[in-house]
Amino acid sequence: MANDPVPHAAPLDDVVAAKIRASFDKQGVMTHWGAQLTHLAEGFCEISLPFSGKVNQQLGYFHGGVIGAIADSAGGYAGYTRISPSQELVTAEYKLNILAPGKGDTLVGRGQVVKAGRTLIVATAELFVVDDGKWTLCALMQQTLFVLPVNSATAAGTVR
**Residues 91-103 pLDDT 10s:** 999 999 999 999 9
Q: Yes or no: say if 113 and 121 are a contact pair by the CB < 8 Å rule.
A: yes
Cβ neighbours of residue 148 closer than 8 Å, sequence gap 6 or more:
87, 88, 89, 90, 154, 159
In this predicted structure, what is the pLDDT of residue 156?
Answer: 53
Sign of the alpha-carbon torsion through 123, 129, 133, 134: negative
3-state secondary structure at position 128: strand
- Angle at the Cα of 28 (from 147 to 34), degrees rounded to 5? 110
Summarised one tens digit per residue, pLDDT across range 46-91 is 999 999 999 999 999 999 999 999 999 999 999 999 999 889 999 9
Tell me which of 81 and 151 has the higher pLDDT: 81
Sign of the alpha-carbon torsion through 6, 2, 93, 115: positive
- Average predicted confidence (pLDDT) for the chain: 91
State the pLDDT confidence band at 13, using cuts at 50, 70 and 90. Answer: confident
> What mean pLDDT comes out for the span 23-44?
96
Summarised one tens digit per residue, pLDDT across range 131-141 is 999 999 999 99
Per-domain residue ranges of the chain? 14-155
Q: How far apart are CA 22 and CA 35, in angstroms?
A: 14
- Angle at the Cα of 126 (from 122 to 132), degrees rounded to 5? 165
State the pLDDT confidence band at 5, using cuts at 50, 70 and 90. Answer: low
CATH H-level, domain 14-155: superfamily: Hotdog Thioesterase (3.10.129.10)
Residues in the chain: 160
Q: What is the DSSP secondary structure assignment for residue 117, as one 8-state letter?
A: -
State the pLDDT confidence band at 1, using cuts at 50, 70 and 90. Answer: very low
Helix 14-25 vs helix 64-80: angle between axes, to the nearest 10 degrees?
A: 150
State the pLDDT confidence band at 127, using cuts at 50, 70 and 90. Answer: very high
- Check whether 29 has a pLDDT greater than 90: yes
Which amino acid belongs to residue 26? K
In this predicted structure, what is the pLDDT of residue 151?
Answer: 75
